[in-house]
Structure 1
Amino acid sequence: MTGDAAGYPSRGYERFTGVAAEVTSASTPAWPPRLRAREGAPNVVVVLLDDLGFSDLSPFGSEIATPAVQELAETGYRFTNYHSTPVCSPARAALLTGLNPHRAGFASVVHADPGFPGYVMEIAEDVPTIAQSFRASGYATFMVGKWHLTTESKMNDGADKSSWPLQRGFDRYYGSMDGFTTLFHPHRLVCDNSPVIVDDYPDDYYLTDDLTDRALGMVRALRANDADKPFFLYFAHHAVHGPIQAKRQDIEKYRGAYERGWDHVRSERFSRQVRDGLFPASTEPAPGDTAWEDLTAEQRDLFARYMEVYAAAVDNVDQNLARLLDELRELGEYENTIVVVASDNGGTGEGGPEGTRSYFSQFVQLAGLPADWERDVDRDPDLIGGPRVHAHYPAGWARVSNTPFRLYKGSTYEGGIRVPLVVSWPAGLPRADGDDGIRSQYAYVTDLGQTLLELAGVPRLASPHEVDGLPFDDVLRDAAAAPSRTAQYSEFAGNRAYSRGPWKIVTAHRWGDTYDDAEWRLYDTSSDPTELVDLSGEDPELVAELAEEWRRAAWWNTVFPLDDDGSLFTHRPSTELELERPVTLYPGTATLERFRSAKLTKLRSFDIVVRADFGSGEGVLVAHGDQGGGYALSVRDQVLELAYNEYGRMHRASGALGALATAGESEVLLRFAAEPGLRWRVSAWAGADADVASQLFELEPVLQLLGMAPFTGISVGLDRGGPVDWDRHVLRRSNPFQGALRWVRYVPGERAPENPEVIIPVEEAVARIYE
């Protein structure tokens, strides 16, 4: 779609197929009609990486080859004191709205929905995004990649789409709306407002390449129809969020590069940072934990492989950035394009101290996990990075990513919130003679979007909500300019921080501990940016003063209540109970969205009833999940087969169909009975009632699939997307059922005893308001 999309059928319709003629709407538009862009207005491109640490790009000390970012930094500006939020959704909300994350409704990632103002998990309708402001000023607006700004219960195809990208200011969208996805077999892609249905991905498919192809296609389509209209492109990469995956040729480029270990690599990165003037020589990097030399030889080999894959994924992002920049040059628009490269938060330690090849199992933080819970199913290290393994690197490499700072994603120490930022605009922000382009002034993620509007001369759409973002364009033009921001709060999961000038107070809060001023640590970040020397004992009055300023900021920004024990994730609104009703799925239905599917199966017993003529063909009847964990029921040689992927460990069971093979249309029941110890006992029955049917097979008790698994949603009649059973995938790809399949019905049962969810009766609360 190019040109002014205001009259397209999206004005009132969620999906459209047909010819666009004149369309009118009786409703009053939420914002003023689109204007014509001012002459010579620059294009604006924001490239946002996911979970990338401060030092992972070459302009910030990395050994990873990122020449495209390096070029932008050498002709533009790199910030050494740019801060984001501890996790990703809040950062994206703050960037796009200019509101502090809690005020924007994103105290955390969108996987929580406890009902408090800071946890709304949607941008309010009367809060304009910068995309809406750009569009109102005559820009074409495009987005590719990770959205992660729609609450989970509204990401399915039947949900209200008012918080989806097209409804929040973008003319076109292509990517995954979830927090992450796999790069070889994305679990769910959306184009504009519709799911993209891919039965089998090509062997050479890689999401980062695909996103770039789509972005280039949007730009080329615009230029084919309008030679002058400027565009705003928000390119939100899924890389390098877990699971880390990379193309084999890129991995080979880094083979052996990390054998000397994380202590050596971190030291070399820091030396380059000092050499390049990012930090004074007097700076002392924060210490790590386990020394590389204390690891076994086997651990060192395995851990080095993880980092080879991570580096390859970063390298590939840069390769694709180069493709985008080359396209701008081909169009003659590179000089007049503002390009921003940043990360949403620090590198993550979620891989644990030893890394994991079972990413979704590692994700599980549920109380009462059985002693035999496997956080890393042993597999050939050579598979790490490829489509068969969902992996993440050890926390020691996250420390390297965040060189020279302490800790990582989720923390309010600098390792979690200080991230790289590069800004380039050759025509509008040329570097003065003698200017090295390094900017050490404090800046925050709310400021970035507002700076782009300011640079482009685009007014922010009117809103009743006061903007928190402060443009820092003066800092870009003058290295000696004062920072536009002098103070900023931060909070995530009870971890808190407050910066004012050189002073910063910060906590490393543990769930269940008391919130009091004794938690605060005080640092002078002008002389101690790595937060090594705690001064709280020397100046308790300053600590108390800054703590009170944090509290005032917290009340204003709807930070409270603090998540003291994780209950804000376990309290769920009763409106989600609608998603737990039995559902019948028919062949040809698009793969059910991840969260929608999980409401039928997660932490509970459930039945799957399949109605088909089982003797009429072979193939997959129903599949749920992928290589990260899942199950698939299929027919082969008149045998009913179950493949159960337990976070990478395969279990199989089968039973002869017998009389069912000649019975014509009949039913089979697959029962998942939740047992203590977070296990399922899985059995198959010839008939829909296990009390009277004959048993076809029973699988030994297996660990339940939790922690975002099964990740790929439910598919009927084939194993679409990421395969559950790799051996079957190699032979038959998605293996569609070739016979007569009528339907598949899911019937959720009792919750597992370990299910911690507490249902909040939303309807009753709303009813009381109007009584």
Structure 2
Amino acid sequence: MSHIPQPRRAQDLKAYLAGFTALCGLLAAPALALAQGAGSDPLAGKVGRSVAETHAPVWPSNPAAPRGAPNVLVILTDDVGFGATSTFGGPIATPTFDALSKQGLRYNRFNTTALCSPTRASLLTGRMPHNVNMGNVTNLPSGYDGYTTVIPKSAGTMAGILKENGYNTAMFGKSHLTPDWEMSPAGPFDRWPTGLGFEYFYGFLSADTSMWAPAIVENTVPVEPPHGDPGYFFEKDMADRAINWMRTQKAAAPDKPFFIYYAPGLSHTPHHAPKEWLERFRGKFDQGWDKLREESFARQKRLGVIPADAQLTPRPASLPAWASLTAEQKKVYARLMEAFAATVAYSDHQTGRLIDAIRQSGQFDNTLIIYIEGDNGASAEGGLDGLAYEQSAITGRKENFAELAGRIDEIGGPALYNHFPAAWGWAMNAPFPWWKQVASQAGGVRNGMVLSWPKRITDKGGLRSQYAHVSDIMPTVLEAAGVTPPETLGGVRQQPIDGISLTYSFDRPDAPSARRQQVFEMMENFGIYKDGWVAGTLPKRTAWEVGVGEDRKATMGPEDRVWSLFHLDRDFATARDLARSNPAKLKEMQDLFWAEAARSNILPIHDYSQGTEGRPSLGRERTHFVYPAGIGTINEDAAPHTIGRSFTIEADVALSSPGASGVMIAQGGRYGGYSFYLKDGRPVFHYNAVGTDQYSIAADTPLPPGAHLLSAEFQADAQALRTGGTLTLRVDGKAVAQGRIAQTVAGWMSHTEGLDIGIDRITPVSPDYASAASAFTGTLKEVRVTIK
């Protein structure tokens, strides 16, 4: 209304009102025309036109996928080495992987990044891990460029891009992409799967979870697993959810393509599998790792997945020969390997159910399926004996063989969190040396991949040996879908994509590798590939030495490392180190590495314990926490940081009758944590320091009905990881029990389960109760935690 003169004097008011009335009449004219009919519009041809004379109705449009765009299913398993599956000559039958390979293409020079989070970030963004700040797993960030674990918005994912181009998107299984300090109910949720372009997510956020009692999230809401269902297993649940989502999506929009990222938690620790699947592998590995590796090597040559002139690399000096073991060691180690094999086979079976559902829906021929077995090489993190609990390694606890041997019949079941010995990890990476974490060597980064798309790929069962990297998956998917990478996504200008589409290899088995160069770095293991040559450092420590309190060999800097050099075009298995015989080539490759490292956010190369000062945290600097009843699933970073410190827990309760029971506060679960609860009316504090290290302090007398202030006071012997201390229980200020907690955990209280108030939701910290029956039966007003 700026063109109507504003009244400045009383005498102008009459003119102003007249002008305003005339304008209102003009604005009302279209509505009047509708009421009177188009032909009776008194202002037609003067102010506007009738409805019949204007354009047709126009609606905001939803994005539509390119015509004929395929559905996309990307499958990424966990910690499965190149030489594990039958598809690539390994000892574990994987019929789904096998069948898909006969339908599509096998890639035998496909490379990952040597660790979980970096591979997953690179796969989804199409960039090098350090270029999206994922130079290590999200559990171990540092404050240097390339290592913060905060994926920038300038690195949009293929889920986000496909969603903007008419796809429905969903993710199932393991994420491991969210920074620790962003995993709480307070968010932010930008780097949860639903913030990374997925319209639906059902899985877990951290590195791993129990398959029997998983820490599940649906979108951004924690989901309590079923209790008391002996048939429940997360991998089956996950497949059921994926199948249902796919069928529902196709029922609602048959012509709309889907993108499913299907990321099983198996075969990462814990090596859990249903009993009938464990039984399938009894006695299958009694020959030991040395013989098994030789058998796999022979099968790989027969299948043609490695060249006929390849040489089998020898066992590292750090690993024992199978023949040197005692009979009891062989029995226990073979059982641990049986559990791993069962996880690989069972996961392949559940993946097969999803693929069968796609086939039954009539969508299979136009579905691009990319099935990658392993996000890195098989793991040696179980150490020389294996582990009954992965948590022992990550909390600084030393297991002994007798403890593991005494629980042999529980291996693979819900009571343990077992991992196999390092030598089995080495065997699963045949024919290559080394293992997970070692990005400078093929055993850490070489994984078997199968790609199927019947509508497009005609060379069924073909082998492709072009050098490829996990960052190539996104550009391959986008090109197959007919989608051009956007310059901006969500209003943010996008950084360059590092990956190279593999579609050129679909019809050209002998095409030269489009990827001519690739830089690697992980956990201070670094290397470079260039035109068939690869140079890299040898590990300065074993994978099982990367734990809490271990010797990090901090005085050995990057410049002190020993390098190796291999000519991959002539030495597929990296069996012949040419570093000494060809120093000029080695120097050329080293110089190239440092130049690429400077361009790719890899520098400074540093230990994961360095650069952590000032790390963001919701809980680290807090000393006082107040929780009302009903609060639950607070992640570790946001919960009280009690490790290595003295603390007091206070609970205000009211009991209407004697014999009350239930949890007031619990952090963690069966595999490590603490719980303050009532048992038959008596206050109890239980500290679960993993395995046999269990400590309970309990009052002798039940509480009478009424209001009470209950407290548990832990006085640490020292401000140090694994410190022991004295625990005192008080009722209304009076000490009622006191006892020793000989040792506490280090590193993580629980990397899978959070903190709950008034219940212990997923698995019980203490054997005194079951999670399903752990709810507090009195009135819980408030719980307070004070860190001293």
Q: Specify the TM-score bucket, using the shorter chain as the normaliser.
A: 0.7 to 0.9
Specify which of 520, 525, 533 is matched with residue 568 of structure 2.
Answer: 525
Specify which of 421, 424, 439 is matched with residue 464 of structure 2.
Answer: 439
Amino acid at match of 2:467: Y
* CA drift at 1:658: 4.0
Matched, 1:304 2:348: no
Matched, 1:221 2:248: yes
Distance in 2 between the 1:609 and 1:199 partners?
A: 30
* Equivalent position SS for 1:585: strand
* Equivalent position SS for 2:450: strand
Amino acid at match of 2:302: R
Q: Tell me what 1:12 maps to.
A: none
Unaligned runs of 5+ in 1: 1-31, 750-771
Distance in 1 between the 2:235 and 2:619 partners?
A: 36
* CA drift at 1:703: 3.4
Matched, 1:194 2:221: yes
Structure 1's 110 and 710: CA in aligned 2 closer, same or farther, altered over 3 A? closer
Specify which of 162, 173, 177 is matched with residue 190 of structure 2.
Answer: 162
RMSD between aligned residues:
2.3
Structure 1's 655 and 725: CA in aligned 2 closer, same or farther, altered over 3 A? closer
Q: Tell me what 1:285 maps to.
A: 312
* Equivalent position SS for 2:626: strand
Contact 2:667 2:756 survives alignment (8 Å):
yes
Matched, 1:558 2:601: yes
Distance in 1 between the 2:702 and 2:527 partners?
A: 67
Q: Tell me what 2:391 maps to.
A: 360
Distance in 2 between the 1:277 and 1:106 partners?
A: 35
Distance in 1 between the 2:382 and 2:724 partners?
A: 26
* Equivalent position SS for 1:102: helix
Q: Tell me what 2:5 maps to.
A: none
Structure 1's 612 and 97: CA in aligned 2 closer, same or farther, altered over 3 A? same
Matched, 1:596 2:638: yes
Distance in 1 between the 2:208 and 2:467 partners?
A: 29
* Equivalent position SS for 2:130: coil
Distance in 2 between the 1:41 and 1:612 partners?
A: 60
Q: Tell me what 2:723 maps to.
A: 679
Q: Tell me what 1:714 maps to.
A: 755
Counterparts of 1:93-492 in structure 2 under 5 Å? 93-186=121-214, 188-198=215-225, 200=227, 202-288=229-315, 289-342=319-372, 343-364=374-395, 377-378=403-404, 379-411=406-438, 412-431=440-459, 436-462=461-487, 463-492=493-522
Distance in 2 between the 1:35 and 1:280 partners?
A: 46
* Equivalent position SS for 1:683: strand
Structure 1's 708 and 740: CA in aligned 2 closer, same or farther, altered over 3 A? closer
Matched, 1:742 2:781: yes
Structure 1's 688 and 502: CA in aligned 2 closer, same or farther, altered over 3 A? farther
* CA drift at 1:287: 1.5
TM-score by length of 1: 0.87
Matched, 1:645 2:688: yes
Contact 1:629 1:724 survives alignment (8 Å):
yes
Distance in 1 between the 2:666 and 2:68 partners?
A: 52
Distance in 1 between the 2:582 and 2:765 partners?
A: 58
Contact 2:725 2:742 survives alignment (8 Å):
yes
Distance in 1 between the 2:134 and 2:417 partners?
A: 27
Specify which of 72, 76, 84 is matched with residue 56 of structure 1.
Answer: 84
Distance in 2 between the 1:587 and 1:577 partners?
A: 19
* CA drift at 1:700: 4.2
Unaligned runs of 5+ in 2: 1-59, 488-492, 541-552
Amino acid at match of 1:513: M
Distance in 1 between the 2:732 and 2:585 partners?
A: 69
Contact 2:149 2:179 survives alignment (8 Å):
yes
* Equivalent position SS for 1:594: coil
Structure 1's 557 and 681: CA in aligned 2 closer, same or farther, altered over 3 A? same
Contact 1:112 1:569 survives alignment (8 Å):
no
Amino acid at match of 2:220: N
Structure 1's 677 and 446: CA in aligned 2 closer, same or farther, altered over 3 A? closer
* Equivalent position SS for 1:644: strand
Structure 1's 381 and 496: CA in aligned 2 closer, same or farther, altered over 3 A? same
Distance in 2 between the 1:201 and 1:569 partners?
A: 44
Identity of aligned residues (%): 31
Distance in 2 between the 1:498 and 1:444 partners?
A: 13
TM-score by length of 2: 0.85
Amino acid at match of 2:380: G
Matched, 1:632 2:672: no
Contact 2:685 2:698 survives alignment (8 Å):
no
Matched, 1:583 2:608: no
Contact 1:357 1:376 survives alignment (8 Å):
no
* CA drift at 1:215: 0.9
Contact 1:584 1:743 survives alignment (8 Å):
yes
Question: For each residue in 1:630-655, what CA deviation from the matched residue of structure 2 results, as whole angstroms up to 9, or x when unmatched?
Answer: 22232223322233322111534343
Contact 2:395 2:746 survives alignment (8 Å):
no
Q: Tell me what 1:86 maps to.
A: 114
* Equivalent position SS for 1:596: coil
Amino acid at match of 1:80: N
* CA drift at 1:578: 6.0
Distance in 2 between the 1:585 and 1:375 partners?
A: 41
Distance in 2 between the 1:199 and 1:44 partners?
A: 31
Contact 2:626 2:784 survives alignment (8 Å):
yes
Quick check: which has more Rg, 1 or 2? Answer: 2
Matched, 1:623 2:654: no
Contact 1:505 1:546 survives alignment (8 Å):
yes
Distance in 2 between the 1:669 and 1:337 partners?
A: 58
Structure 1's 579 and 596: CA in aligned 2 closer, same or farther, altered over 3 A? farther
* Equivalent position SS for 1:580: coil
Structure 1's 333 and 606: CA in aligned 2 closer, same or farther, altered over 3 A? same
* Equivalent position SS for 1:696: strand
Structure 1's 357 and 175: CA in aligned 2 closer, same or farther, altered over 3 A? same
Greater CA deviation, 273-282 or 193-202? 193-202
Contact 1:351 1:395 survives alignment (8 Å):
yes
Contact 1:507 1:520 survives alignment (8 Å):
yes
Contact 1:199 1:720 survives alignment (8 Å):
no
Contact 1:358 1:628 survives alignment (8 Å):
yes
* Equivalent position SS for 2:146: helix
Greater CA deviation, 636-645 or 209-218? 636-645
Question: For each residue in 1:570-620, what CA deviation from the matched residue of structure 2 results, as whole angstroms up to 9, or x when unmatched?
Answer: 4342655566342222222222123323x5222322222122135552122
Contact 2:410 2:416 survives alignment (8 Å):
yes
Contact 2:135 2:602 survives alignment (8 Å):
yes
Contact 2:644 2:744 survives alignment (8 Å):
no
Specify which of 562, 571, 577 is matched with residue 534 of structure 1.
Answer: 577
